[in-house]
Amino acid sequence: MAIDSIKDKAAIVGIGVVDFSTDIGRTEWYTACQAIKLAAEEAGVNIDDIDGMVKSVDDGPDPTYTGKGLGIDNLLYHSENHWGTSAMMNAVHAVAGGLCNYCVYYQTAHRASGPEKCISDFLVAREFRDDSLDMVRYDYFSPFGLIGEPGYVAMMYRRYMHETGIKPEQLGWVPIVASENAARNTNAIFFDKSITIDDYMQSKLIADPIRELDCAPKVDGSIAIVITTPERAKALKQEPVIINSVASGYALEGQNYTSYTRDVITDLPEMENMAKELYRVGGMGPKDIKVAMLDDTFAPYVPMQLEALGFCGKGEAPAFIEGGDKIRVGGQLPVNPDGGEIGQGRFITTRIVEAVRQIRGTSTNQVANTDTVLVASGAGGPADGMICRKE
Amino acid sequence: MTVEYNPDQKIPHPAMWGVLYKSSTPFWEGVKNKKIMLQKCKSCGNLLNPPRPMCPKCQSQENEWITAKGTGKIYSWVTFNEAPHPAFKAPYAAVLVELDEGPRIVSNMVDVKPEDLEIGMAVEVTFEDVAEDLTLPKFRKAG
């Protein structure tokens, strides 16, 4: 049990989004600076006032480099966390703890057009100098052709099908609802292109049982988010989105998408641990959440998260998603009204942007009276998340 | 069906030929001698899979390597209809075998088509020389 001093001590006051594309035609350095400038302008914060910068290790140029690009004179705080949206924790801790005043969390990734450094190839492995359990996949998996994230997830999902009895006709509603939601989102690659269950059933089983439509497509993009204290937020341009709680989740034998050595490989103990902490710090429970922004990098993780985060009971998720009504806007628990990563492209900080828009009431697919949103990332590995709320 | 390879492409080799996961060297040395080796904690007997520097149950750093029987059951599998690496010819399956000793390892099947795989299928190890410098532990239907 951790201290809960971060509760309500930080707020999101600005977002900057560079339009997604499959070939953005700029350097990541350029689009990182562009998104941060947009976010600062939206917030009403001068670039000179930014004194904290955080990001994930995966995506974009590091803070000192990006700060140089922006012309920032001094950074009181900068750090990089691992995957997911875990850098949000760094930002909240830094602002709530007084380490800096205005912290920017940015993600810049050109996965569609740029060299693919993080997904299913060997470049990352070559950068490691020593043993790491994540490297096991290159050693124990690759010689047998188990290569790439769709395949890693498929190995888990086959077992999940076996244990839960979930059918493709049920899982298909995750990408279908994602595409319906994305069809309203002008920044989404599925804009105006929603799919049906027939489209889903015909989607190629690239790594059987994972279909092409179960995977978030790669995009180029850049997003920045400005975080400060609720007190400082009062002098700024936007209605602040209060960060009620932020937490990470860890569990033994966890390995991104490949936690095959656990007794049970078909649940998300990291998400369960994270949810316990989020709800405890925030003083909330699953019933208090109006919109869920879930990790849909791969579709099977959506029903698994619904159970791990307490939105439905164990074993109930396949029926919960079937037909889509419960997870659509207007349903019991709208999931990813922006289309998620399946609908928009693989870009993790879109979840935070949509959480902010839902609370401000400015989403392209607005859920009425949204005052609380849960954001979850890192399904199938180290997890992190936050609950944010209306002031 | 056995996995087929494109002869002009190099099959991804494990760490002992490169710079990667050095902790697995005894496993791959064992494969050369047609054995599946498992790391075992000398203090509490816990099997450490994948191999690692410390027992997660008792924190002992003393370990030894034992020879597994080479029998187990299919725990899960994935069929690649698109090859994610040019060395492999799709379709082929990668299987997750739960060894009778407990640990699970990734492998391929010999003489079993992907569509004939079943969770729980009893399997036994066989060793296949897939390249001049690479032997892999694979599995066939037991009995």
Q: What is the pLDDT of residues A81-92, one digit of tens each?
A: 887 899 999 999
Q: Walk across the sheet containing B63-67 and list its strands.
A: B47-48, B37-41, B63-67
**CA A287, A288, A289: angle at the middle one, nearest 5?**
90
Check whether residue B78 and residue B138 sit in a common domain: yes
pLDDT of residue A127: 42
Check whether residue B91 and residue B137 sit in a common domain: yes
Contact with chain B for residue A10, Cβ under 8 A: no
Examine residue B107 and state whether it is found in any structural domain, yes or no. yes
Check whether residue B75 and residue B40 sit in a common domain: no
Domain positions in chain A are 10-115+219-233, 120-217+241-391
Among all residues of chain A, which has the CA nearest to that of B139? A144
Residue-wise burial string across A115-149, b where 16 or more C-beta atoms lie within 10 A, e elsewhere: eeebeeeeebbeeeeebebebbbbbbbbbbbbbbb
Contact present, A69 and A32 (Cβ < 8 Å): yes
Q: Which residues contact A99 (CB under 8 A, 6 or more apart)?
A: A52, A76, A77, A93
Nearest-angstrom CA–CA distance, A58 and A118: 7
| Correct CATH for A10-115+219-233 of 3.50.50.60, 3.40.47.10, 3.30.1490.20, 3.40.50.300 | 3.40.47.10
Give me the helix-helix angle, A301-308 and A269-282, nearest 10°: 40
Check whether residue B129 and residue B61 sit in a common domain: no
Examine residue B1 and state whether it is found in any structural domain, yes or no. no
Boundary (domain end) residue, out of B67, B95, B122: B67
**CA B36, B49, A214: angle at the middle one, nearest 5?**
105
Examine residue B140 and state whether it is found in any structural domain, yes or no. yes
Check whether residue B79 and residue B140 sit in a common domain: yes
The single residue listed with the structure tokens 């020389």 is B129
Give the global pTM.
0.94
What is the nearest CA distance from B75 to chain A, expressed in angstroms?
7
B chain contacts of residue A116, beta-carbon cutoff 8 Å? none
pLDDT of residue B1: 60
Percent of chain B residues past pLDDT 90, beyond the cut: 80
Nearest-angstrom CA–CA distance, A14 and A226: 5
pLDDT of residue B13: 84
Rounded to two decimals, the ipTM of the complex is 0.96
Nearest-angstrom CA–CA distance, A389 and A241: 6
Q: Distance from first CA to last CA of chain A, Å, rounded?
A: 26
Over residues A150-168, mean pLDDT: 97
Domain count, chain B: 2
pLDDT of residue B20: 52
Least confident window among A188-192, A348-352, B127-131: A188-192
Check whether residue B78 and residue B139 sit in a common domain: yes
Beta strands in A211-266 (DSSP E): 220-228, 241-249
Contact present, A363 and A352 (Cβ < 8 Å): no
Over residues A112-126, mean pLDDT: 48
Q: What does DSSP say about strands A372-377 and A291-293: parallel, antiparallel, or unpaired?
A: parallel
Nearest-angstrom CA–CA distance, A312 and B98: 31
Least confident window among A257-266, A303-312, A324-333: A257-266
Average pLDDT of chain A is 91
**CA A336, A295, A188: angle at the middle one, nearest 5?**
50
B chain contacts of residue A144, beta-carbon cutoff 8 Å? 3, 94, 106-108, 136
Contact with chain A for residue B139, Cβ under 8 A: no
Q: Do B96 and A162 touch (CB under 8 A)?
A: no
Q: Which residues contact A98 (CB under 8 A, 6 or more apart)?
A: none
Over residues A101-108, mean pLDDT: 96
Rg of chain A over Cα atoms, rounded to whole angstroms, equals 20
Please name the member of B52, B92, B105 whose beta carbon is closest to the beta carbon of A140: B105
A307: nearest Cα among A88, A149, A160: A160
Three-state DSSP class for B63? strand
pLDDT of residue A124: 40
Distances (CA, A) of B21 to A138, A185, B29, B32, B33: 8, 44, 13, 17, 20
Over residues A177-195, mean pLDDT: 86
Average pLDDT of chain B is 93
Helix, strand, coil share of chain A (percent; to 5): 35, 20, 45
Residue A93 has pLDDT above 80, yes or no: yes
Read off the DSSP letter of residue A191. T
| Structure confidence by residue, pLDDT tens digits, A277-315 | 999 999 999 999 999 999 999 999 999 999 999 999 999
CATH fold of A120-217+241-391: Peroxisomal Thiolase; Chain A, domain 1 (3.40.47)
Over residues B57-63, mean pLDDT: 97
- A7 alpha-carbon distance from chain centroid: 21
DSSP A290-354: SEEE---SBTTHHHHHHHHTTSS-TT-HHHHHTTSTTTSTTSSS-B-TT-HHHHH-S-TTHHHHH
What is the nearest CA distance from B143 to chain A, expressed in angstroms?
23
N residues, chain A: 391
Contact present, A241 and A386 (Cβ < 8 Å): no
pLDDT of residue A309: 98
**Structural domain that includes position B133:** 69-143
Check whether residue B32 and residue B48 sit in a common domain: yes
Contact with chain B for residue A151, Cβ under 8 A: yes
pLDDT of residue A2: 57
Contact with chain B for residue A207, Cβ under 8 A: yes
A chain contacts of residue B3, beta-carbon cutoff 8 Å? 144-145
Amino acid letter for position B13? H
Least confident window among A15-29, A196-210, A372-386, B34-48: A15-29
- A54 alpha-carbon distance from chain centroid: 15
Examine residue B5 and state whether it is found in any structural domain, yes or no. no
| Structure confidence by residue, pLDDT tens digits, A360-383 | 999 999 999 999 999 999 999 899
A82: nearest Cα among A342, A377, A283: A377
Contact with chain B for residue A300, Cβ under 8 A: no
Nearest-angstrom CA–CA distance, A353 and A14: 9
Dihedral Cα A126, A130, A134, A137, nearest 10 deg: 60
Check whether residue B61 and residue B91 sit in a common domain: no
Contact with chain A for residue B39, Cβ under 8 A: no
Split at pLDDT 50, 70, 90, the class of B21 is low
Check whether residue B35 and residue B87 sit in a common domain: no
CB contacts < 8 Å between A and B, how many? Answer: 123
| Structure confidence by residue, pLDDT tens digits, A166-182 | 999 999 999 999 999 99
Examine residue B15 and state whether it is found in any structural domain, yes or no. no
Question: Would the CATH topology of A10-115+219-233 be identical to that of A120-217+241-391?
Answer: yes
Check whether residue B132 and residue B75 sit in a common domain: yes
Check whether residue B59 and residue B80 sit in a common domain: no
